[in-house]
A = this chain, B = another copy of it.
Amino acid sequence: MASEQARPRRRRTPTGASRRRAVRSTAHHRELTNPNPPDTVISTDEVSHIHGEAKRFLAEHGIRILLPEARSALESAGATVGHDGDDQRVRFPPELVDAAIADAPSTFTVRGAQSVGDVTVGGDKLLLLPVGGPPFVSDLDGGRRPGTLTDYENLVRLTQRADLLHGNGPSVEPQDVPVEIRHLHFTLAQLRLSDKMPFLFTRGRQRVIDVFEMLQINAGLGPDEFRNTPLCFGNVNTNSPRQIDTPMALGIIDLARHGQPCIITPFTLAGAMAPASLAGALLLQHLEVLAGVTLAQVVRPGAPVVYGGFTSNVDMRTGSPAFGTPEAMRAATASGQLARHVGLPFRSSGSSTSTTEDAQGAWETMFNVLGAVRGGANIVFHAAGWQEGGLVASFEKFVLDVEMLTTLVESWQPITIDNDELAYDTIAEVEPGGHFFGTEHTLARFETAFVDPVVALRQPFEAWVSEGGMDARRRANAVWKQWLAEHDDPVRDDAVMEELADFVARRTGEGGAAVE
């Protein structure tokens, strides 16, 4: 056992600077295929039973939809609107739900920029996405503060840099931009600083239409072609339990009508907006997804939709959401089973509740990601930078999470077994009790043998102390600054960028889009 201790060899102690130069230069987009068959946590019969109960519930009790246009569309398709004096209640006949599921594609493609290529959603493909939704940002220099457009732009730059992140997110709310024009600047930042899949907020019809126009300008597509070419993605959260509010219903309708992908994600925290049992939270989640998918398919059969699973639990002591819990992992696994049962791509999350970039933050995000990925998720939102239950986008956590994701993904590499790699002769050449440092076999692999970490340090304690004793959080601070400093905007057509800027200027001049 004694020899299972590290014996750090100070052959070359890296300084901060030499480590920074050692960061591997990688392409900024890396396609991922999940090599592992999805885990299961409930039986096939139980999956069918939950699905059946969800359809029964939608027929017997339905959900509330606040947007009249959505209710009308569903009523025309065969749903029943109103009962018991509640004229916002929509009940779904099982055949309507079955038809919607049959119409929704199990896999679809989002057209990417030439530099990135098309992105497949579904099957065994995995897309990782950054933090989305926080009002606040945090970093070690500026502390915890309301997010600005500059912060958002920087998070887009970091997302662009991380080859394992496949699209942009609403990584922080740019609160210094008035809401009427926020969507314009939010979208322009994505299209200017990144060539990854753009994210679209569904916050009212006029804003969605503005963004659609920008995406058409950006891709050089006319409106008809656009409607048959997924270019972006949006996420709609139901107002659990069993309610879809006006902007969310509009979002489902507008994305479907224009053929743009819509992730439908119930916010089913067990013990708060959902029953305090995983089975109950999953039943509620499933019926809400089915309702949203049905609305989308009624508007346009075949519209690309994604099954969003966000079920976790609350901390029963504080009432606060909890993430990275065993319950979140089990729920993600079951959600994947339910999504595959209805033939939809599955979206899940990496999430953390920690208030700082500590061990808790690391394991919460990693466990949530693991539940998602081993549960067969096709999209993992909030996979980097999500802190404090989503209230904060942390720059340091962003970098730490990217390193964890890299470790996970690199662990999927096969092992090459051939004569050269087996090194039979090299093993014979080294004396018993000797070492392989100087062998030709080792020297030939010096640069490429192993994944080079960005944050992780393997340094003798004394050297670490003498260089400042910086923990992973403080080292991550240096890394994101380096990444920002190294950022280059993707190469773009000047005329297109000018047209986009003109559009934003014009719509800003017109006052943007009023709050609906």
Contacts and interface: CB of A to CB of B under 8 A. Distances in A.
Interface in A1-31: 1-14, 18-19, 22
Contact of A241 (B320, B357, B434): B434
A169 B132 CA distance: 43
Interface string A145-162: 000000000000000000
Given A6-B391, A423-B279, A450-B313, A411 B367 contact: yes
Contacts of A235: 1, 4
A370 B59 CA distance: 43
Contacts of A133: 1-2, 4-5
Contacts of A314: 450
A482 to B, nearest CB: 17
A355 B464 contact: yes
Contact of A10 (B318, B366, B381): B318
Contacts of A232: none
Given A279-B416, A450-B325, A6 B320 contact: yes
Interface stretch (A75-83, A93-101, A113-121, A424-432): A424-432
Contact of A329 (B49, B272, B411, B461): B411
Contacts of A1: 132-133, 169-170, 201, 235, 237
A509 interface: no
Interface in A28-84: 36, 39, 41-42, 46, 49-50, 53, 56-57, 60-61, 63-64
A421 B370 contact: no
A404 to B, nearest CB: 5
Contact of A436 (B4, B271, B318): B271
B243 A432 contact: yes
A432 B277 contact: no
Contacts of A492: none
Given A366-B366, A423-B280, A326 B435 contact: no
A356 B471 contact: yes
A177 to B, nearest CB: 15
Contact of A280 (B89, B317, B408, B422): B422
A414 interface: yes
Contacts of A316: 446-447, 449-450, 452
A105 interface: no
Interface string A448-474: 011111011111110010000101110
A445 B277 contact: yes
Contacts of A10: 318-319
Given A317-B14, A327-B451, A456-B353, A363 B407 contact: yes
Nearest to A245: B433
A322 B13 CA distance: 14
Contact of A360 (B19, B22, B313, B472): B472
Nearest to A319: B9
Contacts of A56: 424
B358 A432 contact: no
6 contacts: A241-B427, A279-B422, A322-B450, A322-B453, A322-B456, A325-B453
